[in-house]
Amino acid sequence: MSDERKEMIELIEQARASGARQSQACEAVGLSAKTFQRWIKPDNVQDGRLDAKHEPKNKLTEIERRRIINVANEPDYADLPPSKIVPLLADEGRYIASETTFYRVLKAENPLQHRQKSKPVRQVKKPRALTATAANQIYSWDITYLPTQVLGLFFYLYLVMDIYSRKIVGWQIYEMESSALAADLMTDICQREGIKCNQVTLHSDNGSPMKGATMLATLQEPGVIPSFSRPSVSNDNPYSEFLFRTLKYRPEYPEKAFENLLAALTWVQGFVNWYNYEHLHSAIKFVTPAQRHTGEDKEILAGRKQIYQQAKLKHPERWTSDTYIRALIAWGLRMVSI
């Protein structure tokens, strides 16, 4: 009997000797009367839960367990999982055990592993996400189609953005997809932004222009670090995808195909100017990407916050905590992850 149990029994017995009712004494120590009665029985000095051993009535015999293992190792079933063994046995008019029982017995005997000649599926862990804390640390780029008036022919918009500031740092339109053309664009961006060796990581999907030898060789010269999406993972390059969606759902986006390359260049130039210098981006606290890129956003956001604090002091009854939070969100002072 444990010391704690002995102490509780002694306390209850002392209370009873002093005239208290047994049920009240048990309630005072947080014990039910039935439990106390069970504890004080001579043949129940040990906690019965510690020695409790139960065997299911339908437990398999050793002969039945060996039969399951032998069947699973037969040549016809040696390379099959239990989920296929059980139905095949049923087709033959035999039932040995359920699929769950097969799995449980095989797991206990340790032959439950890859049972085919092919290599087992390789578990691929999600890579650590890259994080930008300032401009010119991580770029994202991709290529999208722009329709022409010739059915089946397209212009190709190459577009590079800074994921910290969301600024479009470079773009160009060509009549083909080419790693050499992409390399020329990236070289121009590095010179214009003053990129130093190993300063920028350039992320993209696994398209041929992105992984072309010319592109990779060009990235080595200024020390740009390439980064690629995981194979068959469609959402590993979301920044460029969302930017293309913004571009193609602008009200000014032409309803008809572009007449020529000059028309496409002119329209995209207007979009880039609007996006970088006029668009209050919701993901960067409603400042423009250009303001975020140059660091002007800190002064702008500080000014906004001061205005809100002054308004709160002027009419505190109108600024409950919930109202204040909603106002901050509405005016773009919410905290967002980069």
Both 83 and 46 in one domain: the answer is no
Same domain, 164 and 191: yes
Spatial distance between the Cα atoms of 286 and 333, rounded to a whole number of angstroms: 8
With contact defined as beta carbons under 8 Å apart, do 286 and 331 qualify?
A: yes
- Tokens describing residue 292: 């975020």
Q: 2 with 77, same domain?
A: no
Residue 198 lies in a domain: yes
In a domain, 152, yes or no: yes
Q: What percent of the chain has pLDDT over 70?
A: 85
Total domain count, the chain = 4
Please identify, among 250, 277, 304, the residue that sits at the C-terminal boundary of a domain: 277
Q: Is the four-CA dihedral 287, 236, 195, 172 of positive or negative sign?
A: negative
Q: Does any domain span residue 128?
A: no
Q: What is the C-alpha separation between 186 and 159, in angstroms, rounded?
A: 10
153 with 189, same domain?
yes
> Strands, E, within the chain: which ranges?
138-147, 154-162, 168-174, 201-204, 225-228
Q: How confident is the model at residue 326 (pLDDT cuts 50, 70, 90)?
A: low
Per the structure, the complete domain to which residue 67 belongs is given by 62-109
Please report the DSSP string for 201-224 in residue order.
Answer: EEEE-S-HHHH-HHHHHHHHTTTP
Same domain, yes or no, for 272 and 143?
Answer: yes
Q: Are residues 104 and 17 in the same domain?
A: no
Question: Angle of helix 261-277 relative to helix 238-248, nearest 10 degrees?
Answer: 110
What is the pLDDT at residue 259?
Answer: 93
Q: With CA atoms as reference, report the closest residue to 33 among 42, 41, 24.
A: 24
Q: Which one has a higher pLDDT value, 269 or 315?
A: 269
Same domain assignment for residues 231 and 307 = no
- Asked whether residue 309 is assigned to any structural domain, the reply reads yes
Q: 90 lies in a domain?
A: yes
pLDDT of residue 321: 56
